[in-house]
C-alpha cells in the first residue's frame, strides 16, 4: 500500500462514496450478501511471459485476467481485485499500472488495493473477489456426471499460436498475437452456464489436455472427445496443450438449455466437444488416448 498509491492515482478512477480504495492499509468496499468467491494467481516474468516479446503491461494484464477467469470459472462475477507488484529497481511502474488498469476495465473488476516490493524477478500477484448471483451452488470441477455433454466457450490454441508467431517471426493472424498478449476472461459465459444448469466448469488455463484430466478426476468420470475446436492460425497440438486461452470447459446434462441461454444472452455459441463417460479411466479423443498435455508447475 505504499508508493503504489501514487502510481495508481494516475490511471485508476475514484471509488464510489463510502468506499476506500488504494492509499490506506486496506481497501473498504461494498460487501456481497450470502457468499463470495476468492481467487489468486501470479504471473512471473520469464515463466509466464517472455518479456523480450511482450510488455510488462501484457504480463500484468495476463495476471489479472487469469485471476478473474478463475472467478468466472465457478459461475461468479468478479467484484474487486488487489495487486502486488514485485520488480527490480528501475521497472516502469506506470506501464505496470497502465496494464492493470486496462485489464481491470476490460474485466469490469476494479483494482482497489495493492503493494509494491523490490525483487530480482518481475512477479505480479493478483487476488480477486466475486459474487455468486441468486441461489444455487458454485459450479465446481467436481460436479460432472456420466452422460453430461462437454462444451468449450471458444476455439483453443490462439495464445500458443500467438507466442509461436512472436518467437519465430513466421506469418500468423494478428488475432493469435492479440490472444497471447491480451487474453479475455469468459465472465458472462460462466455466469450464463451456471444459470443454465451446468454441472461442472473450469477455465482452460494450463491446456485442455491437462485441464480436462483434472475435471474428470475431480468428478470421477471419463471423458470421450469427438474433436477440439482449433483457433485461427493454431495447430491441434496447440489447442490441446497450449493453455492460457481462458475459454471455459462446461459439462451439462441439458445441452439445448446451455445453447439457448448463450444465444439469448447474445454470447458466441458454445462448441460441443464430447461427453462424460462412466469409466473414470477413459480419456479419449476420437477414440484414441488423450495425452495429458499442458503446463504443470512442479516445484517439489
Is 113 an interacting residue with respect to its own copies (CB under 8 A)? yes
Q: Residues 166-205 vs its own copies: string with x where CB under 8 A?
A: -----------------------------------xxx--
As measured in angstroms, the least distance from the Cβ of 94 to its own copies is 9
- Strand-pair partners of 289: 284
Nearer residue to its own copies within complex by CB, 67 or 252: 67
Q: Which residues have a Cβ under 8 Å from the Cβ of 44 and sit 6 or more positions away? A: 121, 122, 123, 124
Cβ contact 40:129 at 8 Å: no
Buried b (16+ CB within 10 A) or exposed e, 5-27: bebbeebbeebeeeeebbeeeeb
As measured in angstroms, the least distance from the Cβ of 20 to its own copies is 6
Q: Which of 102, 115, 232, 282: binder of its own copies (CB under 8 A)?
A: 115
As measured in angstroms, the least distance from the Cβ of 110 to its own copies is 11
Give CA 55 to chain center in angstroms.
Answer: 19
Is 147 an interacting residue with respect to its own copies (CB under 8 A)? no
Query: Which stretch in 45-53, 165-173, 224-232, 268-276 sits in contact with its own copies by CB under 8 A?
Result: 45-53
As measured in angstroms, the least distance from the Cβ of 215 to its own copies is 10
Q: Is 147 helix (H, G, I), strand (E, B) or coil?
A: coil
Q: Residues 56-95 vs its own copies: string with x where CB under 8 A?
A: -------------xxx-xx-x---x-xxxxxxxxxx-x--
As measured in angstroms, the least distance from the Cβ of 182 to its own copies is 20
Q: Residues 255-284 vs its own copies: string with x where CB under 8 A?
A: ------------------------------
Q: Which residues have a Cβ under 8 Å from the Cβ of 35 and sit 6 or more positions away? A: 131, 132, 138
d(CA 76, CA 86): 28
As measured in angstroms, the least distance from the Cβ of 241 to its own copies is 16
Q: Which residues have a Cβ under 8 Å from the Cβ of 149 and sit 6 or more positions away? A: 251, 252, 253, 255, 272, 274, 275, 276
Total binding residues for its own copies by CB under 8 A? 80
Amino acid at each position: 500500500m505504499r508508493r503504489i498509491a501514487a502510481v495508481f492515482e494516475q490511471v485508476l478512477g475514484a471509488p464510489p462514496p463510502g468506499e476506500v480504495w488504494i492509499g490506506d492499509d486496506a481497501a473498504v468496499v461494498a460487501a456481497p450478501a450470502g457468499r463470495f468467491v476468492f481467487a489468486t494467481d501470479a504471473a512471473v516474468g520469464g515463466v509466464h511471459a517472455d518479456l523480450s516479446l511482450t510488455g510488462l503491461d501484457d504480463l500484468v494484464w495476463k495476471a489479472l485476467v487469469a485471476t478473474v477467469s478463475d472467478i468466472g470459472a465457478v459461475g461468479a462475477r468478479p467484484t474487486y481485485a488487489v495487486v502486488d507488484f514485485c520488480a527490480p529497481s528501475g521497472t516502469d511502474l506506470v506501464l505496470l499500472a497502465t496494464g492493470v488498469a486496462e485489464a481491470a476495465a476490460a474485466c469490469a473488476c476494479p483494482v482497489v488495493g495493492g503493494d509494491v516490493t523490490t525483487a530480482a524477478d518481475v512477479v505480479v500477484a493478483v487476488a480477486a473477489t466475486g459474487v455468486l448471483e441468486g441461489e444455487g451452488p458454485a459450479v465446481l470441477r467436481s460436479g460432472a456426471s456420466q452422460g453430461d455433454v462437454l462444451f468449450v466457450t471458444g476455439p483453443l490454441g490462439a495464445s500458443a499460436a500467438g507466442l509461436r508467431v512472436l518467437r519465430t517471426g513466421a506469418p500468423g493472424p494478428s488475432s493469435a498475437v492479440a490472444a497471447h498478449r491480451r487474453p479475455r476472461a469468459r465472465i458472462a459465459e460462466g455466469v450464463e452456464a451456471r444459470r443454465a444448469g451446468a454441472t461442472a466448469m473450469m477455465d482452460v488455463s494450463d491446456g485442455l489436455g491437462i485441464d480436462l484430466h483434472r475435471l474428470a478426476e475431480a468428478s470421477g468420470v471419463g471423458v470421450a472427445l469427438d474433436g477440439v475446436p482449433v483457433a485461427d492460425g493454431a495447430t491441434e497440438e496447440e489447442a490441446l496443450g497450449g493453455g492460457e486461452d481462458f475459454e471455459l470447459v462446461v459439462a451439462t446434462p441439458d445441452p439445448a438449455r446451455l445453447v439457448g441461454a448463450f444465444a439469448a444472452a447474445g454470447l458466441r455459441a458454445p462448441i460441443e466437444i464430447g461427453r462424460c463417460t462412466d469409466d473414470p479411466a477413459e480419456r479419449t479423443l476420437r477414440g484414441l488416448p488423450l495425452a495429458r498435455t499442458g503446463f504443470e508447475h512442479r516445484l517439489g
